Structure 1
């Protein structure tokens, strides 16, 4: 699941989150850790322009600082950047940050990456917005080198070149998984040929089979035999009968019905599903997570 509090876009934030703080964030992360969730995720934006602040808000915690903080508060849950906007930073800076995070967490990092979409953000840090797709492609390649086992990584590309520069600590993992976010044709291509996983951005269920088929065809055409970890973001959930308006797209009802609905993702070719719970308070969110863990999650394994 993506954590509450740390990003507060009006597309998904709950009203109680605006007054929430660090303690709330930590308690939800610990509940995910105890409950056996696969990962907790944190978003990435550096600065939000006024024209977008009403919808996006300006609350976006730094992913590396936040995940490092939460690594110390958890034991086993993996830590996902969903997604790191690679074009905002030089690959060696990104490598230093995320290698340290992986080292400190004992190898729990999943590096989710994306192109970004806020032009003013790129301009403010002197980054290339119009060419961000090409920058992202090369950044992924550069990070493969910089996050590998070598203390002195080497890379030579059109935009980035480095050699003879040592970085320690090295990541705890021999190979940090890179999951590519996005549902555009370019993002799907990027995930197929450069990623270890794909993080679609809200594709409805009926759109997933065609996207997944294209992913697999592109990967096969590129001669890549290792399987791709395919994700999906489920509809919002509320286990039980809500006594308040949770929205028409929310999956509600008894646990067995929600479990059956979520199992349908397996038939579509999905390997992991990101879930989000409707809630009016931290307590209600933790209660929803708890009933999910006990009554739904055991019926989702295969």
Structure 2
């Protein structure tokens, strides 16, 4: 059975998907908390928060400049929710030393009672890397070692890692996460290198922009890579469908939005698990927080049971 989560509103304001109400003066923590609490109450599997440290002026138009810090945001939401998992989608790991990330995310897992889903990725904003002193052109290799270092740091209180970039040993990393042997790591990105990285180093893959037409080839690449690496066991595949609206909106939701009665939406969404997708990340269209909350409820009560 496919599991569903939601990308939270307000916390990231890319013009690709942000709604006008999210950018209104005064909108912030209270609206974000209400959205997360609704997802928690309605049984969504996770809520997701994005990550960027700084946006250059040349990209502030399409990307927006507002991106909440995922550790702070998910830590805040851990205190106002009870069961939904808390996902970083995705933490740009190469921007931070793996011991720093281990400390932050182990603490988040502890404070949330073991609800962290650690989504990670390589990043794509060159100025962000250069300003923070990280080699943008080596971000893939940096991410590979960071995941490996983070793996041992989250598993062991006195971790030892002998990689060339981040060697460390006999340094206590505490508090320890609740989830054992560590919280799951899902790797994001849809380039061949990112997909192979997810298959080799993660417990899941976070698709970025893949369509129903492109997913089969990606899933085959995952299968082949895991087989060559000798990896077995469960593997999560998270896809992002087009935005959705339950019912007839009566306003222009854009060409890529799935709209209509619950059975029509369920049929469209069912195509993803039919391919092998295990998790769907949903984002309803809305003109206000109240409409967003109404759409979450309609999805949970009228659409998802049909999946």
- Runs of 4+ in structure 1 deviating by more than 3 angstroms, as ranges, are none
CA distance in 1, matches of 2:111, 2:99: 18
Superposed displacement of residue 39, structure 1:
0.4
Q: Which of 84, 87, 91 is the matching residue for 2:91?
A: 84
CA distance in 1, matches of 2:146, 2:157: 18
**1:41-78 CA-partner distances (Å, limit 9, x unpaired):** 00110011111111111100000000000000000000
Q: Which has the higher contact order (CA 8 A, sep 6+)?
A: 2
CA distance in 1, matches of 2:300, 2:231: 35
Superposed displacement of residue 184, structure 1:
0.2
- TM-score normalised to structure 1 length: 0.98
CA distance in 1, matches of 2:54, 2:255: 32
Partner in structure 2 of residue 227 of structure 1: 234
CA distance in 2, matches of 1:159, 1:167: 18
Answer yes or no: is 1:21 the counterpart of 2:61.
no
Q: Which of 160, 183, 203 is the matching residue for 1:154?
A: 160
Runs of 5+ unmatched residues, structure 2: 1-5
Partner in structure 2 of residue 121 of structure 1: 128
Q: Which of 166, 173, 178 is the matching residue for 2:172?
A: 166
Partner in structure 1 of residue 7 of structure 2: 2
Answer yes or no: is 1:75 the counterpart of 2:82.
yes
Question: Any idea what SS the aligned residue of 2:136 has?
Answer: coil
CA distance in 2, matches of 1:131, 1:177: 25
CA distance in 2, matches of 1:85, 1:281: 30
Q: After superposition, where does 1:32-181 map in structure 2 within 5 Å?
A: 32-148=39-155, 150-174=156-180, 175-181=182-188
- TM-score normalised to structure 2 length: 0.96
Superposed displacement of residue 227, structure 1:
2.3
Superposed displacement of residue 164, structure 1:
1.0
CA distance in 2, matches of 1:264, 1:120: 38
Question: Any idea what SS the aligned residue of 2:118 has?
Answer: strand
CA distance in 2, matches of 1:106, 1:162: 28
**1:240-288 CA-partner distances (Å, limit 9, x unpaired):** 0111000111111101111111111111110011111110000000000
Aligned length: 299
Partner in structure 2 of residue 238 of structure 1: 245
CA distance in 1, matches of 2:196, 2:63: 27
Question: Any idea what SS the aligned residue of 2:259 has?
Answer: strand
Partner in structure 1 of residue 304 of structure 2: 297
